[in-house]
């Protein structure tokens, strides 16, 4: 049987049925897990690792580093990894890890649940069994396994608060569908260089959502001396206001003068930003902005956080940002 490391980080799957926060006892959560899902033992030899017990809203880049290091230090001992994680920021952590875990040749499967494990109608049992089974396959990816679907981690996003089908990957096909059988839609990677971990992230950046009537005065007052990049969630294919007091151009110009990288992503989930399509995008290009293509917000953000921490030159960061590093970006 395959050997799997099951890493606990918290979330609803670690909550009591009363829903009063992350309540499973760190000392005996694994016992509770096996009491509820004894069949887990039939799928693999599983070791459990209580890394942290947090609502995922309280996780940050230091947790991503811990998680990456945990996988690194156990990499040779296991065939696959399952990470129990809250759904709220699961796509951020999965995206962040997809950049840090380089030349991954084993499955790293995130899962969680919408309803606590101990609740009668919990989705935890199904998600956990599926995730463990996925971790025994030949998948060489950071993935999210949820509600019988397996998504590429850095293409996934939380789509629903209330549905069991909580995730989607708008611009990327499912890696696998779990029905009577598991249908894997990926080919094994060949000739991978040795596994390596580069886990560092910078938070010297902001996300800006453009909206009608956005007060540009607030933006022009931002202290840009500490900000190295801004991910702009534009309209449609890369549009934003260009006229009168609402024009974002003076702000983009100020960013350029301060050496702040501007990345344009879209508020629309499907398809890719195309900055050549409309005057706004073309002007943004002239002001030095770069496109986030069809990346999810989670990938667009964590990729920049990761690049800024691992590369010194702005040119290199910008160039790598527009390159597909871990399958997060469709190159045309």
Which residue, 85 or 228, is less far from ligand ASP as judged by CB? 85
3-state DSSP: the chain helix, strand, coil percent, rounded to 5? Answer: 35, 20, 45
Which residue, 121 or 221, is less far from ligand ASP as judged by CB? 121
Q: Structure tokens of 7?
A: 């890493």
Neighbours of 164 (CB within 10 A): 16
Which residue, 81 or 110, is less far from ligand ASP as judged by CB? 110
Q: Give me the catalytic one of 9, 12, 87, 89.
A: 12
Minimum distance, C-beta of residue 15 to ligand ASP, in the bound complex (Å): 8
Q: Structure tokens of 169?
A: 């990957």
Q: What is the DSSP string of 241-299?
A: --SGGG-SHHHHHHHHHTT-EEEEEESSSSS---TTSSHHHHHHHHTT-EE-TT--HHH
Minimum distance, C-beta of residue 208 to ligand ASP, in the bound complex (Å): 24
For residue 304, which of 284, 328, 331 has the smallest C-alpha distance?
328
Q: Is 209 marked active-site? A: no
Question: How many Cα atoms sit within 13 Å of 100 on the Cβ side?
Answer: 28
Minimum distance, C-beta of residue 60 to ligand ASP, in the bound complex (Å): 13
**Where along the sequence are the contacts to ligand ASP (CB under 6 A)?**
11-12, 55-57, 86-88, 112, 114
**Residue number with the smallest Cβ distance to ligand ASP:** 86
Minimum distance, C-beta of residue 65 to ligand ASP, in the bound complex (Å): 19
**Locate tokens 């890394």: which residue?**
51
Phi, psi for residue 290 in degrees, rounded to 5: -120, 160
Which residue, 14 or 329, is less far from ligand ASP as judged by CB? 14
Minimum distance, C-beta of residue 56 to ligand ASP, in the bound complex (Å): 3
Which residue, 56 or 299, is less far from ligand ASP as judged by CB? 56
Residue 141 · residue 234 · CB < 8 Å = no
Task: Find the helix or strand (DSSP H, E) in which 124 lies.
Answer: helix 124-135
Q: Structure tokens of 190?
A: 């060949």
Active site residues: 12
């Amino acid at each position: 049987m395959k050997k799997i490391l099951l890493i606990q980080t918290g979330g609803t799957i670690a909550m009591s049925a009363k829903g009063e926060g992350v309540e499973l006892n760190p000392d005996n959560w694994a016992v509770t897990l096996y009491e509820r899902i004894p069949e887990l033992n039939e799928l693999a030899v599983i070791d459990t690792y209580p890394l942290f017990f947090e609502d995922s809203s309280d996780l940050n880049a230091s947790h991503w580093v811990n998680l990456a290091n945990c996988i690194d230090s156990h990499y040779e001992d296991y065939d696959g990894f399952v990470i129990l994680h809250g759904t709220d920021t699961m796509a951020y952590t999965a995206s962040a890890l997809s950049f840090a875990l380089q030349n991954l040749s084993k499955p790293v499967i995130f899962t969680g649940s919408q309803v606590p494990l101990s609740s009668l109608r919990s989705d935890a049992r199904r998600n956990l069994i599926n995730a463990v089974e996925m971790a025994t396959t030949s998948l060489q990816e950071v993935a999210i396994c949820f509600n019988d679907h397996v998504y590429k981690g850095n293409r996934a996003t939380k789509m629903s608060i209330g549905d069991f089908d909580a995730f989607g990957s708008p611009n990327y096909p499912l890696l696998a569908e779990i029905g009577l059988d598991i249908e894997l839609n990926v080919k094994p990677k060949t000739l991978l260089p040795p596994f390596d971990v580069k886990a560092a992230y910078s938070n010297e950046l902001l996300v800006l959502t453009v909206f009608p009537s956005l007060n540009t005065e607030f933006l022009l007052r931002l202290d840009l001396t500490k900000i190295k990049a801004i991910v702009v969630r534009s309209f449609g294919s890369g549009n934003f206001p260009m006229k009168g007091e609402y024009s974002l151009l003076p702000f983009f110009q100020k960013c350029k003068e301060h050496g702040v990288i501007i990345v344009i992503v879209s508020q629309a989930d499907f398809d890719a930003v195309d900055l050549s399509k409309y005057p706004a995008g073309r002007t943004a290009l002239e002001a030095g902005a770069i496109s986030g293509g069809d990346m999810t917000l989670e990938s667009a953000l964590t990729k920049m956080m990761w690049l800024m921490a691992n590369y010194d030159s702005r040119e290199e960061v910008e160039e790598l940002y527009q390159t597909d590093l871990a399958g997060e970006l469709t190159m045309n």
